[in-house]
Structure 1
Amino acid sequence: MDIREDLRDVSGQIARLLALSNVFAENNKYWAHLKNDEDFNRVYRIPEKDRYKVESIYADGRDMAIYMMDALAEINFNYARYPTLTSIIEGFQNTWVYGNYNKETPDIAKEICSTYDIDLWSVRQMFKLFKDQEKLLAAVRATLAMLQNSNLYKEENGMPTQEKHPHQINLTGINSSSININSDGASAAVNQTYNEPAVFSEIITAIKLQGLDPIIEGELIDNTHMLAAGHKSGTFKDAYIDFMQNVSAHITVFGAFLPALSALL
């Protein structure tokens, strides 16, 4: 994929955002399928006074997918909307990315179905899809935070820049074989039926058990979601490099998981 010329210095992060756009695009199709081709039409069995609370999981979830697939895709070609890197970063403020929606929507839908003893497979799938999209939003947040720390962003805003150093991260796997993150071909494949490796949820559980400052905890969890999204979208190598740099101050939290992560490369 060709990245627009003025963003080449941050091409890795831009490529990740474009890959996430593709994931949201696939989700948009799945939302339509769940509503039109499964059992969602049986939502009529719920009294009208509460039915809209279940219908909202579809409305909000699909709106999120449509907005994010378009907003992320346009980064690479819509100069009117995103003339600079700064405009890209600022463009996602006050949007889905930073929680500008009712986060209780999926839980309310699930609760209403339970209250009326109505089990809809489509709603269960929508609940999972909504939660998965929230993880993608976390991945976008973490990536935008990296872009805001880039030299390109600092140059645009008249801030001091940092000397560039080549990224070289090596680690040793369980069998003592060295793994070079810069090696070509170390990318994850994207399957139609994707099962997220358990290591990502295990890392998040470990983070929550550390008793860290809530802001730091949130940043580490966002970075973990970014790593998981990179694995799903096929950009795991670059996501891993960024992840290791972002969490380096808290690497002891992740030490036990490095062999499992290296196995995914």
Structure 2
Amino acid sequence: MNIRQDLESVAPHITRLLSIGLEFHNHDKDWSHLKNQEDFKFIYRVPSHDRYKVEMVYSTGRDMARYMGDYLLEINTDYGRFPTLNSIIEHFKESWVYGGYSPEILSEARKTCTAHGVELWSVERMIQLFQRQENLLKAVRSTFEMLKRSDLYKEENGEIIVKNEKGINLSGISGSSININSAGATATVTTSYLQPAVFDELIAAVRAQGFDKKTEGELLNNVESLATGHKEGRFQEAYKQFMQDVSAHITVFSPVLAGLASLLQ
């Protein structure tokens, strides 16, 4: 996949966004199939005054797939709409990426079908498809956060990227090493980073719950992102995102939260 030249410095992240856009585009076809080729035609069994609660899964999910599929794929080609990296990130601030729909939409659909004794294979598959799209939205949010830390984004927003006047550039600064590049020489200064034990405790807390593989994997990924944030010196931001991402399972981490919060000091 060829990335436009002005975005080459952040090509891996742009490639991810384009791949997610293609996935959304494919989902649009799935929505059409589930509505027109499966048992969704029997949705009339749900009384008309409640039917919209189930139909909202389809209408919202398909609108999301179309919007995200179209606009994510256009970031690599539509210079008029997306002339800069900053314009890409700004465009999606008011989009599905950050909400715009009721968080109860799936639970309401399930409760409505149960209340009226209606069981449709297509509706359950629509709910699962909607959940996959929510995971894709989470990946888009994460990618945007990484792009905001790029030199390209900082330069576009007027931030100065500091470089040594004698031709020595400091790059790859992390909790473990600093790459020093000079004319004809490259050196790496290694520093020690000892990961706090609380991150191992978070992992143990997740694995002790006996979650299904999908839930356990998502929570472990949340912990990994948090640990990476601490290592890279952006723990406060990572902590805030972590608390949002695991809010539905926060009781799992209750015994460890005090130790985790102490890292904020």
- Shorter chain as denominator, the TM-score bin is 0.5 to 0.7
Q: Secondary structure at the match of 1:76?
A: coil
Alignment match, 1:201: 215
Match of 1:165 among 160, 168, 172: 172
The answer to whether structure 1 residue 219 and structure 2 residue 205 are counterparts is no
CA distance in 1, matches of 2:239, 2:36: 39
Does the 8 A contact of 1:142 with 1:222 survive in 2? Answer: no
CA distance in 2, matches of 1:217, 1:203: 18
Structure 1 residue 221 displacement after superposition: 8.3
Structure 1 residue 105 displacement after superposition: 1.3
List gaps (5 residues or longer) in structure 2. Answer: 163-169, 177-211, 227-234, 247-259, 261-265
Residues 217 and 127 of structure 1, relative CA distance in 2, 3 Å threshold: farther
CA distance in 2, matches of 1:144, 1:134: 15
Residues 205 and 3 of structure 1, relative CA distance in 2, 3 Å threshold: closer
List gaps (5 residues or longer) in structure 1. Answer: 170-197, 225-249, 251-265
The answer to whether structure 1 residue 58 and structure 2 residue 58 are counterparts is yes
Q: Secondary structure at the match of 1:158?
A: coil
The answer to whether structure 1 residue 156 and structure 2 residue 163 are counterparts is no
Report the TM-score when normalising by structure 2.
0.66
Does the 8 A contact of 1:139 with 1:223 survive in 2? Answer: no
CA distance in 1, matches of 2:244, 2:39: 33
Residues 223 and 88 of structure 1, relative CA distance in 2, 3 Å threshold: farther
The answer to whether structure 1 residue 84 and structure 2 residue 84 are counterparts is yes
1:140-176: per-residue Cα shift (whole Å, max 9, x none)? 0000011111000001111133643399x9xxxxxxx
Aligned length: 193
Backbone CA RMSD of aligned residues: 2.9
1:94-144: per-residue Cα shift (whole Å, max 9, x none)? 110011222211111111001101110000000111111001000000000
Structure 1 residue 219 displacement after superposition: 2.9
Does the 8 A contact of 1:28 with 1:62 survive in 2? Answer: yes
Report the TM-score when normalising by structure 1.
0.66
Q: Secondary structure at the match of 2:75?
A: helix
1:214-264: per-residue Cα shift (whole Å, max 9, x none)? 97456348999xxxxxxxxxxxxxxxxxxxxxxxxx9xxxxxxxxxxxxxx
Larger relative contact order, structure 1 or 2 (CA cutoff 8 Å, min sep 6) = 1
Does the 8 A contact of 1:40 with 1:123 survive in 2? Answer: yes
CA distance in 2, matches of 1:16, 1:222: 23
Alignment match, 1:134: 134
Q: Partner letter of residue 219 of structure 1? A: Q
Alignment match, 2:22: 22
CA distance in 1, matches of 2:243, 2:2: 30
Q: Secondary structure at the match of 1:92?
A: helix
Pairs within 5 Å for 1:95-110: 95-110=95-110
1:51-106: per-residue Cα shift (whole Å, max 9, x none)? 11111100000000000001100100011111100000111001100112222111
CA distance in 2, matches of 1:103, 1:18: 26
Does the 8 A contact of 1:24 with 1:65 survive in 2? Answer: yes
CA distance in 2, matches of 1:115, 1:223: 30
Q: Secondary structure at the match of 1:118?
A: coil
Alignment match, 1:147: 147
CA distance in 1, matches of 2:236, 2:215: 18
Q: Partner letter of residue 7 of structure 2? A: L
Pairs within 5 Å for 1:223-242: none
Q: Secondary structure at the match of 2:129?
A: helix
